[in-house]
Chain A
Amino acid sequence: MEQKLRQEAKALLEQGKVDWIIGFEPGSFKFSTTPLITKDKNDADRLVINPFIVNNLASFLTEIKGRVGIVAKGCDSRSIVSLIQDNKVVREDVVILGVPCPGIIDLAKVERLAGKDRDELDDITREEDKVIIKFDGEKKEFSTTQALFDNCLACELPTPQEYDILLGEPRPPAPNLEVSGEDIEKLKGLVPGQRWEFWQNELSRCIRCYACRNVCPACYCQRCFVEETEPQWALPVPRWQDNLIFQIVRNIHMAGRCTDCGECERVCPVNIPLRSLTREMYDIVDELFHFKAGMDKEALPLMTHYEQEEAEDLFR
């Protein structure tokens, strides 16, 4: 897949079909990758595809100007389609280099499984349904269920539906909603008062870095509600009350545009379980309006559309 990607990306730039290529290149740590955003066709040789290409590159589409050739896993392609639905991105300006994705390895999970930090591990490899971790001269095998990101386990579209060039063999979806939905199920088992207390505790750690908002492809407002001072909805002060309002309202604003890419939870430096919020909103939107973000390019955005009869049981 990698070779094909490098050839295609180089060709796109050489033939002037795109101004930019956005993909992944090796990061500065073991087991890491980093976004590569370039106009230079020689940089195409640095592009990689491996079990650690974790970023959702679609978030760069709303800030970059010009035509873009973009590497997209299944979830990323859904984000791109969602942006097209929103009229934020013009389909003709994007060349989607689709990557059928078998799931990305969650380094935080791997660290817990191995009982070691990532820089103490010798190697992490993926073999179909196994993840093999080598450290201290030992070799330990784990199932993909134990080592992949939760949202990868819940993946409904490993192979992009919307693409210009498909870089590998299509993969069928095989979501494991039981394992990936464990945390939300646990929360639903609590009484409301306990649930609110749980979120109070979690959001006490928030330092308002806004990484969750900035990695999100759906958050592209020039001025976020949390930056408003007239009126001031939430102070920029990291009190749990203001942090909670930020997260709640952000999730409601993203409803119908969130594709459960899981980036928000991954990037949070203080380990707040944000996916337990975003995935629940994803499920609510599906339950009430039978809508999944980014699946159908022609579908109207959720919050601008309506049916004649719906949700009437919530209104007096």
Chain B
Amino acid sequence: MSNKKKISKKDIAKLLGQWSQQFAVFVPSRESGVAEMAKWDGKDTSFLDWYRNTVIPPKASFLPPMEEMFSFQKDKEGYHIQLPPSNEHKQLIFGIRPCDAKALAILDMTFEEAYEDPYYLSKRKSTVLVGLGCTKPCESCFCTSLGISPTESADVDLMLTDIGDHFLIEEVTDKGKELIAKSSGLKEASKDDEARAKEAKETSHNKVTRKINAEGIEDKLLVCFDDEDYWEKTAAKCISCGICTLLCPTCYCFDISDELIKQQGTRFRSWDSCAFPLYTKMPMENPRLEKWRRVRQKVCHKYEFYPMTFDVIACTGCGRCIRLCPVNWDIAQVLENVPVKI
């Protein structure tokens, strides 16, 4: 049994200041023009007023939209490669939501189990995640249907719950425990505080109104995979942009490009999307030339293939794809309407 601590919302800046001594601290920010995790400026905590979730998912801290893999020179003897300097500095992401934290655990299955991605892993292993439970789930959220709680997470190091003027702090991992042990300005949480936290969590849970029936979805999709009519209807209004996939916290596809200018070159890795028509283009053919095949691929990857391989649905119900889609294509509606042939 650990004694839980709490921190006053007024003291958050002080706590972040302490943590800034050891970590590069990232908090939700709108300074760049879009809501994303950005380096804390040292004083502003106004995000506590407006923050529901970021537009750019936290995967961007580990798999950035664009990353330099290495640079190279070309001369008579061949290519000489320089790896980028390894960044030894540690990161702390403050305010990550349980759905996004779970998404990182899902990404780990690809970047750690399926193969070991040094770029992703070096950042992942040197980052501390401080979770913040939701108090105002969005209309688009459906995390609870996927077994994910808006207020609790096993995938963060510390979990904060809003109990009015304070946040209750729960230690989830040893990393989190260590961090709290070294932090000052925290108070002891009373039984009352813990009860309030329990109530707050239940309230948030009930505010998630959008539901999907994920029961047996893997098998339903397997059955209707070849139903071209259904998929054509489903895909009709999609415009094949990349918003749903690029901003999805569990999507991980990337493209690799080389740029060589006068014997000096760089190899980049950048976000790619299976929604793009050219994604599967090969010299002889393009197996997903038709839009309905790409839409089917996206749905089945998340709800059929990933579960088949890793036993988990590659979706955390964060709702970004629904909220930001230019034509309001809604995965929840699509899953509801999957025709189940008996």
Residues of A participating in the B interface, judged by any CB pair closer than 8 Å: 27-30, 32-38, 55, 59-60, 63, 117-120, 202, 204-205, 207-211, 213-215, 223, 227, 235-239, 263, 266-267, 269-272
Q: Do A210 and B241 contact each other (CB < 8 Å), given the known contacts A119-B138, A235-B257?
A: yes
Closest chain-A Cβ to B323's Cβ sits at a distance in Å of 8
Residues of B participating in the A interface, judged by any CB pair closer than 8 Å: 32-34, 52, 55-56, 65-66, 136, 138-140, 236-237, 239-243, 246-247, 255, 257, 259, 268, 270-273, 276, 278, 291, 322-324, 326-330, 332-333
B-side contacts of A118, CB under 8 Å: 139
A211 near B239 with CB under 8 A, answer: yes
Point out the residue from A30, A205, A213, A237 that lies within 8 Å of B270, measured CB to CB.
A237
B52 near A269 with CB under 8 A, answer: no
| Bound form: Cα–Cα A207–B320 in Å | 15
B65 near A34 with CB under 8 A, answer: no
Point out the residue from B66, B136, B326 that lies within 8 Å of A239, measured CB to CB.
B66
| Bound form: Cα–Cα A119–B236 in Å | 27
B242 near A210 with CB under 8 A, answer: yes
Point out the residue from B52, B236, B246, B326 that lies within 8 Å of A207, measured CB to CB.
B246
| Bound form: Cα–Cα A60–B247 in Å | 24
A269 near B243 with CB under 8 A, answer: yes
Q: Do A269 and B247 contact each other (CB < 8 Å), given the known contacts A207-B65, A210-B241?
A: yes
Q: Do A34 and B33 contact each other (CB < 8 Å), given the known contacts A207-B246, A215-B241?
A: no
B-side contacts of A263, CB under 8 Å: 326
B-side contacts of A270, CB under 8 Å: 33-34, 55-56
| Bound form: Cα–Cα A35–B32 in Å | 31
B239 near A214 with CB under 8 A, answer: yes
Q: Do A209 and B34 contact each other (CB < 8 Å), given the known contacts A29-B328, A117-B52, A270-B55?
A: no
| Bound form: Cα–Cα A148–B261 in Å | 47
Point out the residue from B52, B268, B326 that lies within 8 Å of A215, measured CB to CB.
B326
Q: Do A207 and B271 contact each other (CB < 8 Å), given the known contacts A28-B330, A34-B327, A271-B34?
A: yes
| Bound form: Cα–Cα A214–B239 in Å | 6
B327 near A35 with CB under 8 A, answer: yes
B-side contacts of A272, CB under 8 Å: 33
B241 near A237 with CB under 8 A, answer: no
Closest chain-A Cβ to B233's Cβ sits at a distance in Å of 8
Q: Do A267 and B140 contact each other (CB < 8 Å), given the known contacts A210-B276, A214-B240, A227-B278?
A: no
Closest chain-B Cβ to A241's Cβ sits at a distance in Å of 11
A211 near B326 with CB under 8 A, answer: yes
Point out the residue from A38, A59, A239 that lies within 8 Å of B239, measured CB to CB.
A59
**Could you list 26 examples of A-B contacts with CB < 8 Å?**
A27-B330, A28-B332, A28-B333, A29-B139, A34-B327, A35-B237, A36-B237, A117-B52, A205-B32, A205-B34, A207-B56, A207-B247, A208-B242, A209-B242, A209-B243, A210-B276, A213-B241, A214-B240, A214-B326, A215-B239, A227-B278, A237-B257, A237-B270, A267-B241, A269-B34, A270-B56
B270 near A238 with CB under 8 A, answer: yes
Q: Give the nearest-CB partner of A37 in chain B.
A: B236
A-side contacts of B136, CB under 8 Å: 120
B328 near A33 with CB under 8 A, answer: yes
| Bound form: Cα–Cα A215–B324 in Å | 13
Point out the residue from A205, A211, A239 that lies within 8 Å of B243, measured CB to CB.
A211
Q: Give the nearest-CB partner of B271 in chain A.
A: A207
Q: Besides the contacts A36-B237, A227-B278, A269-B34, what 17 more A-B pairs have beta carbons closer than 8 Å?
A: A28-B322, A29-B322, A32-B328, A37-B236, A208-B242, A208-B270, A211-B241, A211-B326, A235-B259, A236-B255, A238-B66, A238-B271, A263-B326, A269-B247, A269-B324, A270-B55, A271-B33
Point out the residue from A30, A213, A239 that lies within 8 Å of B139, measured CB to CB.
A30
A-side contacts of B65, CB under 8 Å: 207-208, 238
B-side contacts of A202, CB under 8 Å: 33
Q: Give the nearest-CB partner of A239 in chain B.
A: B66
A-side contacts of B273, CB under 8 Å: 209
| Bound form: Cα–Cα A55–B240 in Å | 15
